[in-house]
Amino acid sequence: MGLMAIALSLGLLIGVERGWRTREMQDGSRVAGLRTYGLIALLGAVGSMLSEGADGYLLGIFFLGLTGALTASYIQHQSKPGNDVSLTSLISALLAFSFGALVMRGYPVEASAATVVTTLLLSLKSVLHRWLWLLEKKELWAALELLIISVVVLPILPNTTMGPWQALNPYEIWWMVVLISSISFVGYFAMKIIGARKGIMLTALFAGLVSSTALTLQFSRMARDSKEATPLLAAGILFACGTMFPRVLLVAGVINPELVPHLLLPVLVMSVVVYLPALFLLYQGNKVVPNDVTPPSKPLSLASALGFGALLALILLLSSALKENVGDTGILILAAASGIADVDPINLSLSGMSRDGLMLNTAMLGIVIAAIVNSILKGAMTAVIGGKTLALQAAVPLWVAAILGGMVAVI
């Protein structure tokens, strides 16, 4: 009886959502109502019990019979003038039957989870339709590209080391491409949905996940043309650049948790040195928010994903070659050079190598050096483009964070 009760409750849950949506319709003008959905799920449970000794054939007959009855009801209601019955209700009823059958087949947790997701999708009709209208072609293509690199390409790649020095694992390299692309994709839509123009701080925090370098360049140009907003723009730059430090710790920890204790103190020092001035500037800053702050022009591109994969593979090869022929010093030199472009590739590379024999302290130093070089470069960008005021408010904290982070790392 317990499983029967679960099946009935799942049907009623879907029925509540369907009944609430059509609550203003007259009786008899719906394909199914609250009680009907509960009974349909109960029918699925009963059909599943009766078909246990018939290899599921009887359950299939129940399902086909229900499909025929619901289809006939749907056609009848659609033929009446003024009725516009959605096909969604018919599909929901068939799902209610299936969930009831799943419960009796020994999958109550899975059926319950699927019912909750179904009910959520049904209730989000207006929201999903509004999002569809707001979706641009470039965003649709970006979503398809992300699905291609994650769902199509990733599963077919070999998960084994190969190449010179056995340095390359195609599956792991491409998994990192998917990881970085996903962060960029989510950050883009978060900025668009919340609205970049509603606040420089929200824009900066989300841009820190997408590209703090791009935001530093954009805000530096804005500060040059909008002196009154410079403190707030400086705070935005510091928040975006500061986001890089915990992100470095997070990514390294996912790949090799043993790196976290070694990276924690340098990352913490650099984060505090950057975030504290950002909070002060946010408090003191001018509340005039420029209206020309926009998300990145593209959520992501397959070309950039391939470029990141190639860069990561190159760094892996160079890291292994330098480790083999030069030693740890060569890895640190490569880390400094890599930090000019981006911190993520060398972070991913050294974190992976630390699992395969590279000393944890060497990996930590390389990652910190890359973060230091990247911070110095972004500080120089603000000083050159944004002017003296922005240099004092944004560049100096970045440079101080780089110096103190390096000192803590080598102690």
Task: Give tens-digit pLDDT for 282-325.
Answer: 777 655 555 454 555 666 656 666 776 777 677 667 766 665 66
Contacts of 68 (CB under 8 A, 6+ apart): none
Q: 368 vs 88, 89, 407, CA distance in Å?
A: 54, 56, 10
What are phi and psi for residue 356, nearest 5 degrees?
-110, 20
pLDDT higher than 60, residue 26: no
Alpha-carbon gap, residue 148 to 197, rounded angstroms? 32
How would residue 22 be classed by pLDDT, with cut points 50, 70 and 90? low
- The DSSP H or E segment spanning 223 is helix 212-225
Question: How far, in Å, CA of 126 to CA of 136, rounded?
Answer: 18
Q: Residue 233 pLDDT > 60, yes or no? A: yes
Cα–Cα nearest to 192, from 296, 290, 289, 287: 296
Residues paired with 168 in a beta bridge: 162
Dist CA 36 CA 50 (whole Å): 21
Structural contact between residues 339 and 369, judged by C-beta atoms closer than 8 angstroms: yes
Instruction: Give the model's confidence band at 399: pLDDT under 50 very low, under 70 low, under 90 confident, else very high.
Output: very high
Mean pLDDT of 37-64: 79
In 3D space, the residue among 48, 52, 58, 57 whose CA is nearest the CA of residue 97 turns out to be 48
Exposure string for 130-146, b = 16+ CB within 10 A, e = fewer: eeeeeeeeebeebeebb
Within 10 angstroms of residue 374's Cβ, the number of other Cβ atoms is 26
Note the pTM of the prediction, 2 decimals. 0.53
pLDDT band with cut points at 50, 70 and 90 for residue 393: confident
The whole-angstrom distance between residue 332's C-alpha and the CA centroid of its chain comes to 31
Phi and psi at residue 168, to the nearest 5°: -110, 130
Q: Which of 220, 259, 257, 258 is nearest to 237 (CA)?
A: 220
Of 2, 1, 3, residue with least CA distance to 102: 3
Would you state the pLDDT for residue 132?
A: 63
Smallest CA-to-CA distance from 284 within 389, 190, 410 is with 389
